[in-house]
Amino acid sequence: MMVSTHAPTKLQSLLAQSTLFREISPEEIERIARGCKEIRAPKGTILFQKGDQSNGFYLVVYGQIKLTFLSRTGTEKIVEIIAAGQTFGEAVMFLERPYPVYAQSLEDSLLVHVSKAVLFEEIEGNKSFALKMLAGLSIRLHGLVSDVAAYSLNTATQRLIGFLLSQEDSGQTGTGPVTNLRLPAAKAVIASRLNISAETFSRMLQELASQGLIQVQGRNITILDLEKLCLYGH
What DSSP character marks residue 67? E
Tens digits of residue pLDDT in 99-153: 999 999 999 999 999 999 988 888 888 887 777 777 767 766 666 655 655 555 5
Report, as an integer, the average pLDDT of 91-105.
90
Domain co-membership, 79 together with 47 = yes
Concatenated DSSP letters of 32-52: HHTTEEEEEE-TT-EEE-TTP
CATH code of the domain covering residue 75: 2.60.120.10
Region of 34 on the Ramachandran plot (φ > 0 left; ψ -120 to 50 alpha; else beta): alpha
CATH code of the domain covering residue 223: 1.10.10.10
Domain co-membership, 21 together with 136 = yes
Task: Please indicate, yes or no, whether the overall pTM of this predicted structure exceeds 0.75.
Answer: no
Domain co-membership, 138 together with 195 = no
CA distances (Å), 147 to each of 68, 69, 140, 194, in order? 15, 17, 11, 9
- Residue where a domain stops, chosen among 152, 179, 209: 152
Edge to edge, the sheet with strand 36-41 lists: 2-4, 36-41, 109-115, 56-62, 87-88
- Residue where a domain stops, chosen among 123, 152, 181: 152
109 lies in which domain range? 2-152
- Residue where a domain stops, chosen among 107, 133, 152: 152
Domains: count for the chain: 2
